[in-house]
């Protein structure tokens, strides 16, 4: 009887620390998946300024330009289980990771309702961040590139002289 009285408190003490551990993002893979999921959730909710803050390699695009481009597109991540499927980590280093996932999309002009591809995440400021180009590419809001002709115009005169 006395041994039961001693074992029970010891067992209880060994279980309590396990109950207080955070359940979100226990492994690096879960951290990456959670970071990507959180960014897609903010995008779906139309919180573009917060999305911008969660992105890496923003380049020369300002927050205002990003918000305007994202607001102009009707494409949004799908809800719930269709938002992100088949998530896997292809490579992970201390400051960058490449993941592979199928991102469900709503509001696309074509019958394609998802994009399955690699995404690069960067570890910046203590958090994993998606690339701005990945978000704008999914949204169809990528910057339009101007094509300039590099060919010289022929100065051929039709004059007989």
Query: Where residue 89 sits, what CATH number does that domain have?
Result: 3.10.450.100
pLDDT, one tens digit per residue, over 68-122 is 999 999 999 999 999 999 999 999 999 999 999 999 999 988 777 999 999 999 9
For residues 89 and 115, the answer to whether their CB atoms sit within 8 Å is: no
Q: Within 10 Å of residue 17's Cβ, how many Cβ atoms?
A: 8
Residue 153 domain-assigned? no
Residue 44 lies in a domain: yes
Domains in the chain: how many in total?
1
Domain range for 62: 25-139
* pLDDT for res 108: 87
Q: Note the pLDDT tens digit of each residue in 117-149.
A: 999 999 999 999 999 999 999 999 765 554 444
| 49 in any annotated domain | yes
| Residue 92 burial (10 A CB sphere; 0-12, 13-18, 19+) | middle
How far apart (Å, rounded) are the C-alpha atoms in residues 65 and 42?
17
Q: Token pair 């990507």 is at which residue?
A: 36
Q: pTM score > 0.85 for this model?
A: no
CA distance 53 to 83: 21
């Amino acid at each position: 009887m006395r041994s039961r009285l001693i074992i029970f408190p010891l067992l209880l003490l060994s279980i309590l620390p396990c109950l207080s551990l955070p359940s979100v993002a226990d492994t690096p893979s879960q951290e990456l998946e959670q970071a990507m999921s959180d960014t897609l959730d903010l995008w779906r909710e139309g919180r573009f300024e917060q999305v911008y803050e969660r992105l890496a390699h923003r380049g020369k695009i300002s927050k205002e330009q990003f918000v305007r481009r994202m607001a102009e597109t009707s494409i949004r991540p799908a809800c719930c289980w269709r938002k992100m499927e088949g998530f896997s980590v292809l490579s992970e280093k201390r400051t960058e990771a490449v993941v592979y996932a199928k991102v469900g999309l709503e509001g696309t002009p074509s019958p394609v309702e998802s994009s399955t591809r690699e995404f690069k995440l960067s570890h910046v400021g203590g958090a994993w961040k998606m690339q701005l180009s990945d978000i704008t590419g999914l949204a169809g809001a990528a910057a339009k590139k101007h094509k300039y002709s590099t060919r010289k115009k022929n100065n051929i005169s039709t004059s007989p002289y």
